Each structure stands twice: as structure tokens, then as C-alpha cells.
């Protein structure tokens, strides 16, 4: 069988969330961060024939890159990667060695806030945060709503903001660690609950993320 490029790109993205992954039989990939504050799920074009676990996803992807267009044969303890002339046997790890997602996805309880976050707005605020070295992304209610790269614990820190094409009369300040924004580039439908959980659904590809808010987040205050 083959593993297509989009599936490999999803595995690469998920490796930013957790260096390890347990792949279940079928075409759904899921991962969770070691701190369990990020959960991600994607539907991919490749259908995997069985369950297996990889301890270091980037190393696994590096092994695949040794070949131009390899075939994959999944065995009980390892997967054969190769072609008619060369091959590599990559050994699975024990799933008990890694942090794996819960069986069920998180349900965002009665989200108080829904908004759209464009790829342009997301990329600009992420770039600003990296340039300024600010640790947080903050979404604030108002007319218009804003997304900021800032340090909410430091009043004298530099701040960059992007105005969204949406307004609300709700008062809130949702704080995220910038390091938890691991989404693939794209436009997102976002739901946020005052219970400090958020859901980001990519509008073009079937990939979604659940990200925990920081304790200093506020709603209706």
C-alpha cells in the first residue's frame, strides 16, 4: 500500500503536538499533547490496515524520505518500507510507552463564543508573536473583535493586534499559550466555552483541534 503526501503532512503536523503517535486501523489520525492541553484529529485519504504505534514520528518520516515512492507492508511488529530493490523494517513501539488520546473527542460545552479566524489573521499574529517573543495569543470581545500577540502578565510588554471582521457585545478575554497554536495553515471556525476549552475546525480540510485556555481567561467580567 501507499501513504499519500497529505497523510504524511498530517503526521508531520501532529509530531509538533506529540513526538509519538498511536495509529488506529482506518483513516482517522488522532493525537494529544503530553500535557493533555491539545487534542487533534484528522480524516486522511490513507486507510491503515491495523493499529500500530510510533515512538518518534519525525524519525519515522525521515525513514520514509529515504525512498522516492515506497510501498508499505504492515506486519505484527514492524512495517516494511521500500521498493523492489531496497527495504527498511521500522519497528513499532509499545503503546503503553507513549501518551495517547482519550477514546472520545472533547465536546465543547455550550460554547459562548463563535467566530471565524482567517489564515491571514492567524499567520500575521503568529508571526508577530514570534518576532516580539510574546508568550500568548489573546482573543478579546468588542466591536470589532481582536486577536493579540502579547504577554497578559506584563503591562509594559509589546503588543500586536489584528481586528477580525466580526463584532460582539459579549465581554471576554480568552488567553492561549502561543506554543499551543499548532494548527496547519488555513481558515478556521472557532468555538470557545467559558469552561476554558476551545475548538478549531479547518474550513477546507477535515482536521480539527481542541485547545485549552489559560487560567487567566475571563468571560463576562
pLDDT tens for residues 116-140? 999 999 999 999 999 999 999 999 9
Name the CATH topology of 113-219: Proliferating Cell Nuclear Antigen (3.70.10)
User: Please, what is the angle between helix 57-64 and helix 5-15, to 10°?
Assistant: 150
Question: Longest C-alpha distance within the chain, in Å?
Answer: 66
Examine the pLDDT at 81 and tell me if it is beyond 90: yes
CB atoms near residue 99 (< 10 Å): 16
Q: Which of 168, 163, 138 is nearest to 153 (CA)?
A: 138
Query: pLDDT grade, residue 104 (50/70/90)?
Result: confident
Which strand (E) or helix (H) includes residue 45? Answer: strand 38-48
pLDDT band at 14 (very low <50, low <70, confident <90, very high): very high
pTM reported for the whole predicted model:
0.94
Q: Do domains 5-97 and 113-219 have the same CATH topology?
A: yes
Q: Give me the residues paired with residue 175 across strands.
A: 138
pLDDT tens digits, residue range 26-75? 999 999 999 999 999 999 999 999 999 999 999 999 999 999 999 999 99
Of 86, 7, 83, 18, nearest to 53 by C-alpha is: 18
Distance between CA atoms of residues 121 and 182, nearest Å = 15
> Which pLDDT value is given to residue 156?
87
H/E segment holding residue 80: strand 78-82
SS3 127: helix
What does the pLDDT average to over 83-101? 95
Question: Domain map of the chain by residue range?
Answer: 5-97, 113-219
pLDDT confidence of residue 84: 87
pLDDT of residue 107: 77
Peptide bond into 46 cis (omega under 30): no
Q: What is the CATH number of domain 5-97?
A: 3.70.10.10
Spatial distance between the Cα atoms of 191 and 113, rounded to a whole number of angstroms: 6
pLDDT in tens, 142-193: 999 999 999 988 888 899 999 999 999 999 999 999 999 999 999 999 999 9
- Distance CA(64)–CA(4), nearest Å, equals 11
Amino acid at each position: 500500500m501507499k501513504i499519500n503526501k497529505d497523510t504524511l503532512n498530517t503526521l508531520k503536523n501532529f509530531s509538533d503536538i506529540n513526538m509519538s503517535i498511536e495509529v488506529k486501523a482506518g483513516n482517522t489520525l488522532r493525537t494529544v499533547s503530553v500535557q493533555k492541553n491539545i487534542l487533534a484529529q484528522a480524516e486522511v485519504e490513507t486507510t491503515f490496515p491495523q493499529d500500530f504505534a510510533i515512538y518518534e514520528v519525525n524519525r519515522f518520516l525521515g525513514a520514509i524520505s529515504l525512498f522516492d515512492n515506497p510501498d508499505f507492508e504492515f506486519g505484527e511488529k514492524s512495517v516494511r518500507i521500500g521498493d523492489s530493490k531496497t527495504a527498511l523494517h521500522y519497528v513499532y513501539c509499545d503503546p503503553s510507552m507513549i501518551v495517547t488520546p482519550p477514546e472520545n473527542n472533547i465536546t465543547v460545552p455550550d460554547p459562548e463564543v463563535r467566530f471565524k479566524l482567517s489564515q491571514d489573521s492567524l499567520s500575521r499574529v503568529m508571526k508577530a508573536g514570534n518576532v516580539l517573543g510574546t508568550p500568548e495569543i489573546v482573543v478579546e470581545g468588542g466591536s470589532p473583535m481582536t486577536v493579540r500577540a502579547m504577554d497578559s502578565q506584563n503591562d509594559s510588554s509589546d503588543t500586536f493586534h489584528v481586528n477580525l471582521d466580526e463584532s460582539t457585545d459579549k465581554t471576554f478575554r480568552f488567553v492561549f499559550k502561543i506554543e499551543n497554536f499548532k494548527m496547519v495553515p488555513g481558515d478556521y471556525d472557532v468555538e470557545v466555552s467559558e469552561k476554558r476549552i476551545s475548538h478549531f475546525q479547518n474550513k477546507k480540510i477535515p482536521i480539527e483541534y481542541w485547545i485549552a485556555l489559560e487560567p487567566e481567561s475571563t468571560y463576562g467580567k
